[in-house]
Structure 1
């Protein structure tokens, strides 16, 4: 049996989580792994473990534990729902999954900034998961600046990174791309 990893790539409020949850409902034997859920869990139940400054290493460690369990203790497909905007970070993820026998699918959400700004302005999403900024507007501004300065090798995904690459530019394309992924995974 072929196992798949679907990795989302995109800025805040681009639709990664909504897409991942919808795909999980339609794709047999799959699980969404989302670091935002881990951040919320830690904030709600273990606030004393959260670092005061620097990277949230406990969130990363929790995610790694969940990923390891999903890879080694299940036979399911994984939908990894994070921003995954740096090429080096994506390549490390993709290498890990390849070594473990997964076929990889990248879904890049290339949504125009004005749509992201509109979504953020209407969002009811909790800001408790944020550590280095206090609003999602600030997250988007930081991401826009990273794009301009190529900080941390923030790059648009390329076809050679994964076995399959899909680009979502608007909401109309979401169902079609989801259908294509379902077809690939059911072969």
Structure 2
């Protein structure tokens, strides 16, 4: 039986982590791999190793190590929880780590309106210890909104994975979770 990998896509405060944790509770034998946890770990214990500029290659290396270990040493369904807004990055994950012959590959795109996200970041009480180059979630959202103008930062489209679900309102999350559980148990 194929395992399922679910990859979340969306801006900060769109509901990716809440969705991933809810899915983990309902999808038997599943594991959430959340890059925010890796960032917090690095910022707490290894801040001096962080790259001064460019991508956070240390965070990506830790995330890849954990995913590789889970793929090779467990039979868990995997829920990859981070923004994954770059098409190139998503395709790299899917092609290099999650073989189509071994995994049913699912993208869940959180397409929540920016005004809703702005209201959420303004009221956020989340820990900012995950940041390397920002000091607030509002700053992160502003950067993500600007990145939308870049060529490689694109919404997922049909055909990138075996299944694509788009959540435009977090009220839709439970029905998407149920559909994923159904896919995994078929």
User: TM-score normalized by structure 1?
Assistant: 0.94
Structure 1 unaligned segments of length 5 or more: list them: none
CA contact 1:71–1:100 (8 Å) conserved in 2 = no
Compute the displacement of 1:108 (Å). 0.2
After superposition, what is the alpha-carbon deviation per residue over 1:167-187, rounded to whole angstroms, capped at 9, x for unaligned? 001022111111111111111
Compute the displacement of 1:44 (Å). 1.5
Query: Structure 1: which 4+ aligned runs deviate by more than 3 Å?
Result: none
After TM superposition, list the pairs within 5 Å mapping 1:103-182 onto structure 2: 103-147=104-148, 149=149, 151-182=150-181
After TM superposition, list the pairs within 5 Å mapping 1:67-106 onto structure 2: 67-96=67-96, 97-98=98-99, 101-106=102-107
Moved more, 161-170 or 54-63: 54-63
CA contact 1:9–1:109 (8 Å) conserved in 2 = yes
For 2:147 and 2:175, the matched residues in 1 are separated by 30
Cα gap change, 1:100/1:52 in structure 2, threshold over 3 Å: closer, same or farther? farther
For 1:59 and 1:154, the matched residues in 2 are separated by 20
Partner of 2:57: 57
- Higher-helix-fraction structure: 1
For 2:53 and 2:152, the matched residues in 1 are separated by 23
User: TM-score normalized by structure 2?
Assistant: 0.95
Q: How many residues align?
A: 185
Compute the displacement of 1:99 (Å). 5.3
For 1:105 and 1:184, the matched residues in 2 are separated by 10
